[in-house]
Every structure is written in C-alpha cells, then in structure tokens.
Amino acid sequence: MTVSASAATELEALARRLAHPPHTAPDDSPNAAARPDPCAGASTVLADRADGVVVRHGDLVVKAHAPGTDTAALGIRLRVAANRRLTGILLPPRPPLAQERSLVTDLHGRPVSAWPYGTPVDPERPDAAPWEEAATLLARLHRVPADRIEGLPGPLPPMRGPAKAARAVARMRAACLARGPETHAVPDPERDARETPPRPGREQARPAPDPGAGPLHEVVRAVLRAWHALPPWARDESPGTAPAATARLCHGDLHLGQLVRHPAPDGPWLLIDVDDLGTGDPAWDLARPAAWFAAGLLAPEVWARFLGAYRAAGGPAVPAAGDPWPQLDVPARALTVQTAALAVARAAAEHRDLDEVERLMTDSCYRIAAQSPRSVPESRK
C-alpha cells in the first residue's frame, strides 16, 4: 500500500468516527456490537493529492492538509471561515470532534479539518458554471474589513497566491531534472543575461521561439522568462513589496472547484478551501479567469459577465468602470506562468507532449516573455 493510499484509508476511518461520535450513554444491549454502521460503505475519496486528501462520509467532509502545513496559520484561516462576518461567503468548518471547540485535529502530523458536504460545480455542464456567483462572492469577501474579524488567535497570514506560483515553478524545474538528459539542462534566464549580456538592439531583433514547437526545454525557457519578468512580490521573493494600499482579505486560489452549494443540493453557492486565504492584492483572486480569457480559454462574453458581476457587487480589486488590466496584469501573468509550469511538470513526469489546452497556456508565456512587462494585447482589454 502506498503512503497516499494509506493516508486515504486512515482518513476514511477518521471520517467515519467523526461522523458518528460515541453516544453519551453506552449501548449494553446484546446486539450492540453486531449493529451495522448506518453509513457503512458510504465513504468516498474526493481528492488524493500531495497537497491534500479529502474524504466524504455522509454529510461530513474531512481533509488532511499537506505535510508541513503551518497549523497555527491554518487555525487562523479556519477561524475566519467560521466567523459571522463571513456567513454566506465562506463555507464554515465543523469542529472535528463534537465535544471539542478546536477546528483542527491531527493525523500522523498532518492537520485535519472537517466540513459539511456541499454540492460542487458540475464539470459536465460548463454552460451552467456559476461565474457570476463566484465573482459576487469574491467581491463580498474583498469588502470584509480584515482588521475587524474578531476572535482570531493571531494576525491574519498573507494570502498564499504568490507562494503557490513559486511552488509551481519549482515543481516544473524538479520534474524536468528528473526526466533525464532531454530536459535536464533547465534554462536560467537570469544566468543567461549575466553570462551573455545582449548588445544594443540584439534582444529586440532576436526572434522568439515558435510557440508550440521545439523540445520541452524551449517551453521551459519561455515559462521561466515570463516568470522572471514578474515583480519580486508576485514571485514570493519580496512579499513586503506587494501593493500595500490594495491589501484585502483574499481567497488566494479561486477556481470553479472552490464553490459548492450548501445545504446540498440546491443551497446558495459558497466559497470553500481556505488553505491560501489571507491578506493581499484582491486582483489575485480574479487572475485565473483573467489569464484564461487572455489565453483564449474563457469566452469573452463569460469574462464580461464575471467582471461585470464583480463590479456590480462593489468589488475593490478593479475600478468600477474602464480598463481593469492595470490592476490585473501582474496577477494574471503570474497565474499564466503557474498554470503553464504545472502543465509542463505533468507532461515531463508523464513523458508526453503538451496537450492542446496546455499549449495555450505555454503559448501565452511566449507572448509574455516577448512583451514589455506591463503591455496587454489591445484585443484583450
């Protein structure tokens, strides 16, 4: 049995135990031991990844967070989700044990949180995706005064969006190193610039590689050039240099998989997964749909509905009217690099070519690398 399979099996047992706490009075009847679990066989593994294992048992969902998770910071994030100011915005956690007030327990050193089950977005119905609802929830989240959330055991941690982007780039490097001689020479744009400084006009005259062509290491080079074109705060290198004037309460990892209807199956949409929640630039929460739109993965009318709903709800990340790209540019480029880096990492690990959708994101990195840092295609404004 693999470590991952073992974690999932133990989490299923924990989920069953948490879903059926011991009765206050012991059952001494002769048939008590033989009485079946009313939810026997109902546990379902919803996710089993390195960054988290999620199991559902009945109306309870338990999550074993990634090894090395900062338990104190996670505890603060869970308290935020449970706070009355976030009612109707974030799905509130359930105490893992009914007799305890703690919102987190432990499984072999991995923190575990418990949540009520909610109905997720149906991936088979893309036309029914709740883009407007997601945008409205983000606007409401960003408007919550982060300094007025009472009952927290410590200060709010920073939003972890830039840290996730940095981890994606590190994962791409590691995957390429592990693949073998074909990609082991991972390009380093900063080293290249030091060792072979361009002569005046040379860089402008040098043609960019053909997007979608060439060996994988050329794609890696484009991703890294796009990465190094970002400001340090967006690469999680100098968090203190982020635009402080825009610091707000942020989700940190918005995508459609982070929404559920609760109560299931037809309750209102709520945001889930607070692992990356914290204070930061709220434009980061709009960056993934913005990046998809810029890459051609999100239809213009869907992007317009999303952005319009966010503005209508008073979202502070972008102006109420006019061009949103001065605020969205850096976060959208960062999410483009993050998505492309993960795509390259998966392709390298699986010894395959990039698929069509993955190429759209890596092609965006070629364009980003060839543009000035703040330029945005006129057609995408």
Sign of the CA dihedral running 307, 311, 313, 316: positive
- Percentage of residues in the chain having pLDDT higher than 90: 65
The better pLDDT of the pair 207, 17 is held by 17
Q: Compute the half-sphere exposure of residue 173: CA atoms within 13 Å on the CB side of its CA.
A: 11
Q: Residue 4 above 70 pLDDT?
A: no
Say if residue 332's pLDDT is above 60.
Answer: yes
With CA atoms as reference, report the closest residue to 75 among 47, 49, 113.
113
What is the pLDDT at residue 101? 58
3-state secondary structure of 105: strand
In the beta sheet, which residues pair with residue 111?
Answer: 106
pLDDT for 19: 83
161 to each of 89, 220, 333, how far by Cα in Å? Answer: 19, 21, 12
Span 76-87, average pLDDT? 96
Please count the other Cβ atoms lying within 10 Å of the Cβ belonging to residue 214: 12
**What's the pLDDT at 213?**
43
- Closest alpha carbon to 259 in 289, 215, 301, 291: 289
* pTM for the structure as a whole: 0.85
* Exposure letters 176-192 (e unless 16+ CB within 10 A, then b): beebeeebeeebebeee
For 287-324, where are the alpha helices, taking DSSP H only? 287-295, 300-312
Please, what is the average pLDDT of the chain?
84
Residue 274 has pLDDT above 50, yes or no: yes
Tokens standing for 64?
């074993």
Q: What's the pLDDT at 296?
A: 96
- Residue 171 pLDDT exceeds 80: yes
| Stretch among 25-29, 135-139, 233-237 having the lowest mean pLDDT | 25-29
Q: pLDDT tier at 180 (50, 70, 90 boundaries)?
A: low
Which pLDDT tens digit goes with each residue over 347-376? 999 999 999 999 999 999 999 999 844 444
The Cα–Cα gap between 308 and 297 comes to 18
The DSSP symbol for 239 reads G
State the pLDDT confidence band at 69, using cuts at 50, 70 and 90: very high
Predicted local distance difference test score (pLDDT) of residue 40: 54
Out of 113-127, 154-168, 210-224, 271-285, pick the least confident.
210-224
Separation CA 365–CA 225 (nearest Å): 8
Measured CA to CA, the distance from residue 269 to residue 134 in angstroms comes to: 8
User: Is residue 175 pLDDT above 70, yes or no?
Assistant: yes
- Cβ atoms 73, 82 nearer than 8 A: no
Q: What share of the chain is helix, strand, coil (3-state, %, to 5)?
A: 45, 10, 40
> Residue 108: what pLDDT?
84
pLDDT at 267 over 70: yes
Q: Is the dihedral of CA 93, 97, 102, 108 positive or negative?
A: negative
Q: Does 178 have pLDDT greater than 60? A: yes
| Residue 24 CB contacts under 8 Å (≥ 6 apart), including other chains | none
pLDDT of residue 182: 52
Name which of 226, 266, 238 is nearest 367 in CA terms.
226
Provide the 8-state DSSP code for 65: E
pLDDT of residue 212: 43
Mean pLDDT of 82-109: 84
- pLDDT category at 109 given cuts 50, 70, 90 is confident
